[in-house]
Chain A
């Protein structure tokens, strides 16, 4: 059994164990979940230390599973999936810890679902067999559905069902596309790496890209398919929101990066104008709608629509800066939005309201909370020195190179982003104390600090030291980019003054190197 199998299935094993624990010992359940998810994280550190920064798939495990139809149990990671796996294993124990007091009922089921969800997400990130990928992709559906539907807010059932129906329509059409792709490639293998070598006619690529793209676009979600997201976020318990925003949405963008773009490069190029337009609309629309929200969770949900618009813009700019930025921004969004939901959850636990108007002027009563909230806010709006800046900067540089208008509009989105986030902090944290009940608000406890500090540290680290991450991402991103570059060489982007900071002096100018290795 390899390391990846251990990482992916440890949470599932723990979730089965939890269901067998006695009902009247919630503490044992919580500790089991915490230990199992922490152990998963520790194991995944092994991936980081053993990772070679090249484009190859590593830690590969391949065993025949359903031989008669060519399905393998085939897993591996490269620079793209490595950090997404780490993000998942990093967030899960924090989420368990954050739910320590929040979840008082049905504790076993809650943790079992959470861990099952982790297995689904990890499996989807590391699967190199399309069939296996589909199984994991669907495996995520039910735990998330239960998490929202059982532990959610008043409209939880509506939100849960909406989430499921949106997702399932996309994923079932993807199943048809998987089958069609399988037969077009000769009907012998679901191996993603081999399928990438298949030469498909442009017509076939168009349809397949449309089907895969729809499934991923719903998951991202791209405007106008985003309407399930605010409902799901608002109704989900804190843990559900964090996982949803932090990891689940990344599966959509990961799907584009791993499958849709490299396997159907011609179609990706022909869809580029539409998707760039939708991404920019998403950026602006998400920001504008976020601005008028009265519910903090809803505001953060719409900010996710906006942020993932950047990721999509980066992916469909088809150059290395934008690709790196997109992947970096996926991690940033996971951390900063995850942290925002955690912080909102902290207050919700105390006051049972998420309305911005119910707060205000709490900075003096909860100074630690305020500091954490500000750091996350600054990360979210892309303040230099924090992680958000690196991602947004790279995306904007890449986008300008590919499509000037889109770049300008997206930059406008950055301004809007700063507006709604700063306005939020002003109404939420500062100003006069409007509500007397907030006078006795308690600041962060040690447990909550333990949840937030690692995220804050990472936010700062990724802001000042992007190189260790970018270096490991770069070869895999080049490989993912090569098929598109072969179809439509994109114009080089201008070399930026920050180039050395981001890519290092030894790295050949990233933009010009993009077409160099068509594999």
Chain B
């Protein structure tokens, strides 16, 4: 640990931009007072664009963190997660524009909390150091707890925030305990050094790593740590739910992958790969089975997001079992796809407002709002993993790598799960096109929702048709994912 060089801070532009932007918005909010009609989403989007810009600028040659490299791991993988989180946040911001207007709660703190949370997420996936990891976890979580309870007059929103906060705090404590165990066993908090040094108390180290993994599994809502997700997703403001389902999950997977690559050497006799195998199977099966019985669209999407975490865990299992970082290409690609299709689906939910969350109220809407209906159908088709959509290609890439490494039974279970998921995703289409209209349900949110649906729809088709650069000169999503995972090994 040489002396700190302030210039090295610049190596991680995205975090600074996001954190600085968040603080700036708080200041503006304080200066303007309550009654201003300040267009909050514009500076927020600018900050996010700047963060993406700094990340992309570093892409070809990630800057060394210099004196901070003990704390930060700045590589393409971190940059990839940063871009993904920012894109997800940007879509959320556009969506919130109409959502917050509709419920009459346009406030600066919403946007600043969003940005602060983003900075935590970016940091979460960009560190090998446990204390930094914990700080990042708190930085990403606490704003999201608050955002979940943003509708403070709404009981369910309050319940969601409380539930998320208590369980989140518990998981943070578990996470911290894991860090303490690891430090106690090895005398360092840097994961790379943990691997190098070895330990004289392997039991303590194993326990520490498992506790750490528990914390991650809570964040990605893997079975058996998924109980919070449906209630929180249902109660939180819809756009926050979209943000949680995509950005939080992406960041948590990012951090998990950094640890999981090292974990097999650390957990001693525990068969980590077997454990993950079962977690993947349970997570997708429980998610899909529970989603089948939901009538509330937000709850259905919550369980579906649990199921998708299960598909992603397949790639993690393969990675943990074989150490082949290429196996994660599918995971990253799937995260892009998942972000686009999930936010798109939530955009549709936002369009018809929080009064209409029961599936039944969507009857025949596909005919009355053709563009929104086609968009929603596309997202459902993509979530179900049917070509030619991003969801299909993401799933395909995950399955492909798993089959390559001989995980055929796991893939068979996954495709049977996919078939199961078709039942509830297609039920949305049944409602949109084949059921009678129920009452006067109106799309009440101006152009912003349309923009998000359009962007996500184009993205879903783009990533589904052209995963390998079918337009000359356009860098391909697949090669981004491939380059990113190379950084992990």
Q: What is A's interface to B at a CB cutoff of 8 Å?
A: 65-69, 71, 106, 134-135, 138-139, 141-142, 145-146, 149-150, 156-157, 160-161, 164-165, 168-169, 172-173, 175-176, 179-180, 183, 187
For residue A15, give the distance in angstroms from its CB to the closest CB of chain B: 12
Complex: how many Å from CA A106 to CA B373?
14
Chain A nearest CB from B177 CB (Å) reads 40
Q: Is B276 an interface residue (CB 8 A)?
A: no
Give the distance to chain A from B454, nearest Cβ to Cβ, in Å.
15
Query: What residues on B are CB-neighbors of A65 within 8 Å?
Result: 468, 470
Question: With a CB–CB cut-off of 8 A, which chain B residues contact A168?
Answer: 386, 418-419, 422
Given contacts A150-B433, A172-B418, contact A68 B387 (CB under 8 A): no
Cα–Cα, bound, A165→B429 (Å): 14
Residue numbers in B under 8 Å from A183 (CB-CB): 403-404
Assuming the A-B contacts A66-B468, A142-B381, A149-B433, are A187 and B404 also in contact, with contact meaning beta carbons closer than 8 angstroms in the complex? yes
A139 to B388 alpha-carbon distance, docked (Å): 8
- Taking A138-B386, A141-B386, A179-B411 as contacts, is the C-beta distance between A169 and B416 under 8 angstroms? yes
Q: Tell me the nearest residue of chain A to B478, going by C-beta.
A: A68
Which one, A135, A161, A176, A180, contacts B387 given CB within 8 A? A135
Q: Which of B406-459 contact A (CB under 8 A)?
A: 408, 411-412, 415-416, 418-419, 422-423, 426-427, 429-430, 433-435
Cross-chain contact A157 with B434 (CB below 8 angstroms): yes
Give complex CA distance A156, B479 in Å.
44
Complex Cα distance A125/B479, Å? 31
User: A179 vs B416: C-alpha distance in the bound complex, in angstroms?
Assistant: 15
Contact flag A146-B400 (CB < 8 Å), given A135-B387, A165-B419, A179-B411? no
**B166 on the A face (CB < 8 A):** no
Contact of B388 among A135, A145, A149, A161 (CB under 8 A): A135
Q: Is the CB of A164 within 8 A of B404?
A: no
Which chain A residue shows the least CB distance to B400?
A179
State how many angstroms separate the Cβ of B369 from the closest Cβ of chain A. 13
Residues of A within 8 A of B367 (CB): 106
> Once the chains are docked, how many angstroms separate the CA of A346 from the CA of B217?
60
B396 at the interface (CB under 8 A from A): yes
A–B Cβ pairs within 8 angstroms, 14 of them: A65-B468, A66-B468, A69-B468, A135-B387, A138-B386, A138-B387, A160-B430, A161-B427, A169-B419, A172-B418, A172-B419, A179-B399, A179-B400, A180-B403
Contact check, A69 vs B434: say whether CB atoms are below 8 A apart. no
B423 touches A165 (CB 8 A): yes
Q: Main SS of the interface on chain B? A: helix
Known: A65-B470, A172-B415, A172-B418. A164 touches B478 (CB 8 A): no
> Are A156 and B434 touching (Cβ within 8 A)?
yes
In Å, the complex CA distance between A161 and B415 comes to: 18
Q: In the assembled complex, which residues on chain A have CB atoms less than 8 Å from the CB atom of B400?
A: 69, 179
**Is B467 among interface residues, defined by CB-CB distance under 8 A?**
yes
The answer to whether A149 and B434 touch across the interface, beta carbons within 8 angstroms, is yes
B430, A149: Cβ atoms closer than 8 Å: yes
Interface residues on B, range: 20 to 34
Does B433 lie within 8 Å of A146, measured CB to CB? yes
Tell me whether B399 and A139 are in contact (CB under 8 A). no
Among residues of A, the one whose C-beta sits closest to the C-beta of B392 is A138
A residues less than 8 Å from B381 (CB atoms): 142
If A146-B433, A150-B434 touch, whether A176 touches B386 (CB-CB below 8 Å) is: no
CB distance from B57 to the nearest CB of A (A): 26
- Residues in A with CB closer than 8 Å to B403 are 176, 179-180, 183
Other CB < 8 Å A-B pairs besides A69-B468, A146-B429, A176-B399, 12 of them? Answer: A66-B467, A71-B468, A135-B387, A135-B388, A138-B386, A142-B386, A165-B419, A169-B416, A172-B419, A173-B415, A176-B411, A183-B404
Instruction: Please give the distance in Å from A71's CB to the nearest CB on chain B.
Output: 8
Q: How far is the CA of A180 from the CA of B404 in the complex (A)?
A: 8
Evaluate contact between A134 and B387: CB separation under 8 angstroms.
Answer: yes
Taking the closest CB of chain A, its distance from the CB of B8, in whole angstroms, is 36
Q: Nearest 8 pairs between A and B by C-beta? A: A172-B415, A66-B468, A179-B403, A149-B434, A135-B387, A169-B419, A168-B419, A138-B387
For residue A69, which residues in chain B have a CB less than 8 angstroms away from its CB?
Answer: 400, 468
Residue contact A176 to B415, C-beta cutoff 8 Å: yes
Nearest Cβ in chain B — how far from A107, in angstroms?
A: 12
Which chain B residues lie closer than 8 Å to A179 at the CB level? Answer: 399-400, 403-404, 411
| Minimal Cβ-Cβ distance residue in A for B433 | A150
B426 touches A161 (CB 8 A): yes
Which A-chain residue is minimally distant from B405 (CB atoms)? A183
**Taking the nearest CB of chain A, how far is it from the CB of B445, in angstroms?**
24
Q: In the complex, what residue of chain B is closest to A207 when comparing beta carbons?
A: B408
Q: How far is the CA of A449 from the CA of B398 in the complex (A)?
A: 53
Which residue from chain A places its CB closest to the CB of B406 in the assembled complex? A183
Most buried by B among A142, A161, A172, A180: A172
Minimal beta-carbon separation of A14 from chain B (angstroms): 17
The residue on A at minimum CB distance from B435 is A157
User: With A and B bound together, what is the CA distance between A68 and B470 in angstroms?
Assistant: 12
- Complex CA gap A164/B421 in Å reads 12
CA distance A227 to B422 in the complex (A): 19
Contacts of A160 in B (CB 8 A): 430, 434
Residues of A within 8 A of B404 (CB): 179, 183, 187
Give bound CA distance, A331 to B381, whole Å: 32
Asked whether A175 lies within 8 Å of B396 as measured between CB atoms, the reply is: yes
Shortest distance from the beta carbon of A503 to any chain B beta carbon, whole Å: 41
Q: Which residue, B423, B434, B435, B478, has most C-beta atoms of chain A within 10 A?
A: B434
Q: Inside 8 A of B479's CB, which chain A residues have their CB? A: 68
In whole Å, how far is B443's beta carbon from the nearest beta carbon of chain A?
18
CA A134 – CA B404 in complex, angstroms? 19
Q: Is the CB of B387 within 8 A of A145?
A: no
A65 to B416, CA, bound (A): 28
- Give the CA-CA distance A460 to B426 in the complex, in Å: 43
Give the residue among A71, A106, A146, A156 with the most B Cβ atoms within 10 A.
A146
- Chain A residues closer than 8 Å to B429, beta-carbon distance: 145-146, 149
In the bound complex, how far is the Cα of B363 from the Cα of A150, in angstroms?
12
- A187-B396 Cα distance, complex, nearest whole Å: 14
- A180:B408 contact, CB within 8 angstroms: yes
Q: Which residues of B contact A150 (CB under 8 A)?
A: 433-434
Which B residues are CB-close (under 8 A) to A176?
399, 403, 408, 411-412, 415
Task: Report A-chain residues with C-beta under 8 Å of the C-beta of B467.
Answer: 66
Partner among B416, B426, B435 whose Cβ is within 8 Å of the Cβ of A172: B416
Provide the bound-state CA to CA distance between A142 and B411, in Å: 24
Q: How far is the CB of A80 from chain B (nearest CB, A)?
A: 24
Query: What is the chain B residue whose CB lies nearest that of A108?
Result: B370
Q: Which residue of A lies closest to B466 (CB)?
A: A66
Selected from A134, A141, A161, the residue in CB contact (under 8 A) with B430 is A161
Q: Assuming the A-B contacts A139-B387, A176-B403, A179-B400, are A145 and B426 also in contact, with contact meaning beta carbons closer than 8 angstroms in the complex?
A: yes
